[in-house]
Amino acid sequence: MVERVAILGGTGKMGRWFARFFKSKGYEVVIGGRSPERNRAAAQEIGVEAAASNVDAVRGADIVVVSTTLETTVDTILQIKDSVEEGAIVFDIASVKGGIPEALRALSSRGARVISTHPMFGPGADSFSGRRVVVVPVVEDDSLTEWVVGLFRGEGAEVHVVKDGEEHDRIIAITLSLAHFVNIVFGRVLARRDVQEIKKFAGTTFSLQLALVEAVLSEDPDLYYEIESLNPSFRKLLEELITTAQETATALDDREAFVRGFVEARDALARDPEFPGAYERFYRALGALG
């Protein structure tokens, strides 16, 4: 029997990505969303079914993927709690968990099997192969966790299971929110200048940093706002960033303090086994930019 997959928020880029993925694996796929017209357009483009709404999409679905915006994920999950099939697998793909695990547990009390996931890549990826995926159990269901981990690992993904949503958000505050924030600030400083003129004098570090900045600024600003603003762990980290930036700025008048901070950071990061090859990887990345 072919299983049926409902993609909620399926008109978005990641929703379409998952719709194509499940279709390629032989599943029946139906796209839900707030706009029937947009649902039909996306479904026609991909070659799958369209539902009039998220609620309609989950009826009869064996698997439900919630790929709505971060701000609407909790509301979407609660909206479908009376319509999702008993025993259906429901998982989100949100990059900030916040109240999502609690909302998923509300579905669990209605008989759904729930878990939270976070693909650590964007819609530009051509497959799961070589990509990282974080899995966050929200109820005790070892067989479901094994199924989800197996689904992604079977496609070549590197899968990491974390304890809960709070742990996920603490880690993601560093790997996503902080990285994005630093590049956005760098970009805003550059925006006040003639970048084409500056590039004539670009060194290797600037060239690679500029590529990162431009990649970040090419993405959806609303999504990045949500990743920065909706993660409570990032607010605490941001205070640490500002304090450390001020300390480093003050150290410009104190060579000993500057060098001490530099060496302390280097010694700490040198515990990373990949640290010795960092310079070589740096130049390979730069070479890949052409």
Q: Kindly report the pTM of this predicted structure.
A: 0.89
Q: Order of strands, edge to edge, in the sheet holding 63-66?
A: 49-50, 28-32, 4-8, 63-66, 89-92, 113-119, 132-136, 158-161
pLDDT for position 286: 84
pLDDT for position 1: 53
Instruction: Give residue-wise pLDDT tens across range 209-253.
Output: 999 999 999 989 999 999 999 999 999 999 999 999 999 999 999
d(CA 189, CA 187): 5
